[in-house]
A and B are shown apart, each in its own frame.
Chain A
Amino acid sequence: MIRVKNKKAIGNISRKSLRANRTRNIVAICAIALTSVLFTSLFTIGGSMLKTVERSTCRQVGTEAHAGYKFITQEQYDKISTHPSISDISYDIFLSSADNPEFSKQATEIRYSEDKDAKWSFCYPETGTMPKEYNDLATSTIVLDALGIPHELGQEVPLDFTVRGKTYHETFKLCGFWEGDPIAMAQEVWLSKDYVLDTAPMSNIPLYESSEYDYSGMISCSIWFSNSFNIENKITKITTDSGYDPSLLNQGVNWAYGGAEVDSTTVVLIVMVLLLIVASGYLIIYNVFYISVTKDTRYYGLLKTIGTTGKQLRSIVRRQALLLSCVGIPIGLLIGYGIGTLLLPVILSNTYYSGQGIVSMNGLIFALSALFSFATVFISCSKPAKLASRTSPMEALRYFEESGKKRKRRGSKRITTFSMAMQNVCRSRRKLVAVVLSLSLSLILVSSVYTIVTGFDMDKYLEDKVISDFSVCNSKLITQYELEYTDADTLNTISAIEGVSEVGAVYMSENSHLLSDSAAANVQKIIDERLNKDYGSKYTSDCVSKFTDEKSCYAHVYGIDKLVFDKLEVLGGEADYDKFESGSYVYISSYVDNGDSYDYPYYKPGDKVTLDYGNGDTKEYTVLGIAFMPNPANCMHGHYIDPEFILPSTEYLAHNTVKTPLHVLCNAQAGKEAEVAKAVEAYCDGSQMSCVSKDSAAAEFHSMQSMIVIVGGVLSAILGLIGILNFMNSILTSIISRRRELAMLQSVGMTLKQLRRMLIGEGFTYAFTALLASFTAGNVIVYLIVKLFAGQIWFFSYHFTLLPMLICLPAMLLLSYLLPALAYRSIGRESIVERLREAE
């Protein structure tokens, strides 16, 4: 009871004190809002990225439902669909995959589907309807385009398919279509239920009990639970509860809901950014309240005199902070959300998910931001609140202001306006530290972003991405890491393009290689000394067992032309094209140890190695040197112990059956790059090939740079705002609260000019200290930050630069000149006596 009543009194005082402090309130609200903006942007971007990844993965998986079963019987479906943990369920019936020749490169499936299941699979007609009539068909625009059919309802769609040994060539009527998804693993064609069941009547024999794997007529269903936690266990429970064996019944979990797997670097990154935001928010909010409390120390002393306890005073400060937060945080939430929405596409532009960004509207984002913001405000005002609580009643009764704890002051050097300025600034060490830190933080960040961006070495980057002007390979190699070669006509088409100066092909096959005795000894050394240390025994077991059981290892055999040979980096041995071309020599890679040492070769230069091409075809080569296939020309994946054998193309083609290259590279004549680019693009558009060009790689590089500039720039700008706000607040309040003292100085003879000079000197002292700190300790921190974030990036090299700080220098000095000058004008209007007389 008592608590409630005196809370009212405290609340009353808090509210009324709040109203008396207009300027402080505005500054505080701005500070709180800015902090909140930072948090909200971070969480919006984070949450949206999670959602984007989830959505994208769902599109690849083929459904957004939590889990499902594939190819079960009607009986099985009926049984499981009654399980209480299922929140929603829908199914489709498989007919066959489409055999039209146009679909040779694009998997297409024919089914009947319920409306819900179709919607969940992102395959619901946007124009038209799902099949109603017997011969109706609904499908995606990708399928229509492949068949060369215009996107119009009523069109005839021919389908070829096989069911239970019988082939069908039927024509259907297009009743609906949707925009096809290029990243889906298969396209869907919906037919009417009657047609499907007529063509493939359902059997009741579970798939795992039948001897033929006939999927036609089998039901696949999608299931939603009430939430996405623990899907694996939930669906297993359904299977077992319905009396089936989880290892037999084909149950599946949508791995999009696997929960984002964040690696430790990302976590560290996020935590660091959070701490940065808390720190910068703390610096300014603390300062605002600290200044406010010290300014009102007489007021708090008075309250103490009347009988307000320390706890109550603390509560008064806290409540004011709370009320200000209630205004500042919502503003910050809104603006932060906007910024997050704008930045999301920029950040995604360099990832796989470019263009797929979905902004998350999850309330959790706002809740978390508000929570963190409130927490920051709470932490920031606790020291000032404690200070208020410890005010002694004597503060109210003194007629002089006790300034600081110093008892003596050494040195009676000449007193100048500047020395007075410095003394004044040092009066409140805490304020000085808070302002300096706040300003430095922003300077450090700007400098870091600048150093990172300018440290990106485009040449180094390009070196790893391209070794020729253009490079053509199968798009599946890049997007899905599947081993697919170029088409039969690729090499010839590219060679024939007008303006091409040189063409080089890269051939590759995967082999198993029987090691010679000396090589085996080397491999043993690798296994003993490096393998488990580098990769962990969990993953290396297949390489190890292959070696111990068969004295073999996985290998890649490459055939290259001169264009690629010129780009080989030969370590150890000779780089001799003539010898190489003769076909009796081979280059072999070594066990990669951070990419540039060859302490662990498989074969040494001069060794003899025998390659077995199968069917009794073996040949012995001499190792000419150790070399690695350049990244743009290799096959993108391999095992841990996996030497590359590099032969000339002629030698390769003599022994291998697969004659299509993995990569076709070409250079353009000087001045003809644009034409060649067009021709190569045209070729790639018309086939499944994709092209990487020097220009496209350079564009990628620039877009990465600009992303960092934009994101880093926004962050720096906000922190800069915070720093400047802090700076402004400190200077202005220090001048206003010393009105009486300044009037006193004037009354003893200090001229206006001298007074102004002193105040400007104080401003300069703040700015100068901040710059000094930034130039020294700040640059060390920049180095650490840059090393942490960009040190791992291989095309980044650190260059020390003072440029960004030097650019900010004049701005800061200008500000520190203008602010005091302006502030003084506003108080200089009252007469000296008026200002002296002021009690408050």
Chain B
Amino acid sequence: MTILETKDLKKIYGSGETAVHALDGVDLQVQNGEFIAIVGTSGSGKSTLLHMLGGLDRPTTGSVSVDGKEIFSLKDEELTIFRRRKIGFVFQNYNLVPVLNVYENIVLPIQLDGKEPDAEYVDKIIKTLGLETKLQNLPNNLSGGQQQRVAIARALASKPAIILADEPTGNLDSKTSQDVLGLLKVTGEKFSQTIVMITHNEELAQLADRIIRIEDGKIVGGAK
């Protein structure tokens, strides 16, 4: 089942002479349960693509469908709610809420929805990521790797349709990167999540099921 699809996605910054075509007509399809890596050099448009996929920024033209829903037909508030329920993010700089502890960070999207977290499920995630002893800690009290694991837990906790990871190991050393990426893959399989990951590192990209290459705003390989 196609869980993510884009049609002729374009994002243009500026106008006239100084127009920058960050995305220049991207067509993409992702199936449920796949682990996709999007690879490209700096300035290739991969971050922009991810932001589009997650509904964080609006395209100039084109459409994105998540779980059958065209997300840009929604208004801002509806889009936010959709994102809360259907999309999980993992960022390069973790982006945890500094004033909340680890547990609160993990269940935040669920609570924002007004729902009770599925305690068993959340426990499983926490165990899988090895965070049991750190639940009361504040983010500034954790190492980079630990913070990233919290971010992954947060992304998983709300059982989203897809998880979008933007250079998840960008700020981590090589050993920690291996660990974190391994966890990402394992949890993705265990909890049957679709993962779309951005990276510029070919080695890390090999862990994915499929590699999509992007250059100058266009897909140059692996689109299917």
- Residues of A near any B CB (own CB < 8 A): 1-6, 8-10, 12-13, 16-17, 19-20, 299, 302-312, 392-394, 396-397, 839-840
Closest A residue, CB atoms, query B116: A5
A90 to chain B, nearest CB (A): 63
List, in ascending order, chain A residues with CB within 8 A of B56's CB. Answer: 305, 393-394, 397
Residue of B nearest to A303 (CB): B97
- Given known contacts A2-B113, A6-B114, A309 and B77 CB-to-CB distance under 8 angstroms: yes
A16 to B138, CA, bound (A): 12
Binds A, one of B103-111, B176-184, B189-197: B103-111
Q: Across the interface, do A2 and B109 meet the contact criterion of CB distance under 8 Å? A: no
A306–B114 touching, CB < 8 Å: no
Complex CA gap A137/B108 in Å reads: 82
A309 pairs with B81, CB closer than 8 A:
yes
Q: Which of B73-90 contact A (CB under 8 A)?
A: 76-77, 80-81, 83-85, 89
Separation of A4 and B84 alpha carbons in the complex (Å): 18
User: Which of B97, B109, B115 has the most chain A CB atoms inside 10 A of its CB?
Assistant: B97
CA distance A20 to B56 in the complex (A): 27
CA distance A303 to B56 in the complex (A): 12
A13 and B97 contacting across the interface, CB-CB below 8 Å: yes
A675–B115 Cα gap in the complex (Å)?
91
Task: With both chains docked as a complex, state the minimum distance between the C-beta of A57 and any C-beta of chain B, in angstroms.
Answer: 58
Question: Would A16 and B81 count as touching, CB distance under 8 A?
Answer: no
A308 and B84 CA atoms in complex are apart in Å by 8
In whole Å, how far is B125's beta carbon from the nearest beta carbon of chain A?
Answer: 16
Given the known interface contacts A1-B114, A307-B113, A393-B56, the answer about A16 and B99 at a Cβ–Cβ threshold of 8 Å is: yes
Cα-based distance from A710 to B112 in the complex (angstroms): 53
A8 to chain B: closest residue by CB: B111
A306 touching B89 in the complex, CB below 8 Å, given contacts A2-B114, A5-B115: yes
Given A6-B112, A12-B104, A839-B93, residue A306 in contact with residue B84 (CB < 8 A): yes
Min distance, Cβ B138 to any Cβ of chain A, angstroms: 10
B93, A9: Cβ atoms under 8 Å? no
When the two chains form the complex, which single residue of B80, B98, B111 contacts A9, counting CB atoms closer than 8 Å?
A: B111
Beyond A303-B97, A305-B89, whether A311 also contacts B77 by CB under 8 A is yes
Known A-B contacts A306-B108, A307-B80, A310-B77; the reply to A396 vs B95 at CB < 8 A is yes
Task: State the Cβ distance, B59 to closest chain A Cβ, in Å.
Answer: 13
A393 to B57, CA, bound (A): 8
Main secondary structure of the interface of A (DSSP, over half): helix
The reply to whether B80 and A309 contact each other, CB–CB distance below 8 Å, is yes
User: Interface of B with A (CB < 8 Å)?
Assistant: 47, 51, 56-57, 76-77, 80-81, 83-85, 89, 91, 93, 95, 97-100, 104, 108-109, 111-116, 154
- Name the residue of chain A whose CB is nearest to the CB of B110: A9
Given contacts A2-B115, A13-B97, A307-B113, 10 further A-B contacts (CB under 8 A): A1-B114, A2-B114, A4-B114, A6-B112, A13-B100, A20-B99, A305-B83, A305-B95, A306-B95, A310-B80
- Residue of B51, B83, B99, B111 with most chain A CB atoms under a 10 A cut-off: B99
Question: How far is it, in angstroms, between the C-alpha of A840 and the C-alpha of B98 when the chains are bound?
Answer: 10
Separation of A203 and B179 alpha carbons in the complex (Å): 111
* Residue of A12, A13, A306, A308 ringed by the most chain B CB atoms within 10 A: A306
Closest to B14 in A: A407
Q: Are B85 and A307 within 8 A (Cβ)?
A: yes
With a cutoff of 8 Å between Cβ atoms, the chain B residues found around residue A303 in the complex are 97
Q: How far is the CB of A398 from chain B (nearest CB, A)?
A: 11
How many Å lie between the Cα of A128 and that of B194 in the bound state?
96
List residues of chain A with CB within 8 A of the CB of B47: 397
Contacting residues, chain B, for A8 (C-beta < 8 A): 111
Taking the closest CB of chain B, its distance from the CB of A300, in whole angstroms, is 11
- CB contacts (< 8 Å) of A19 on chain B: these are 99
Give every chain B residue within 8 A of A309 (Cβ-Cβ).
77, 80-81, 112
* B141 CB, nearest partner CB in chain A, Å: 14
- Nearest CB on A from B23, distance (A): 15
Complex Cα gap A299–B139 (Å): 14
Whether the pair B51, A394 counts as a contact (CB closer than 8 A) is: yes
Residues of B within 8 A of A305 (CB): 56, 83, 89, 95
Report yes or no: A9 in contact with B108, Cβ–Cβ below 8 A: yes
A397, B51: Cβ atoms closer than 8 Å = yes
> In the complex, are the beta carbons of A307 and B81 less than 8 A apart?
yes
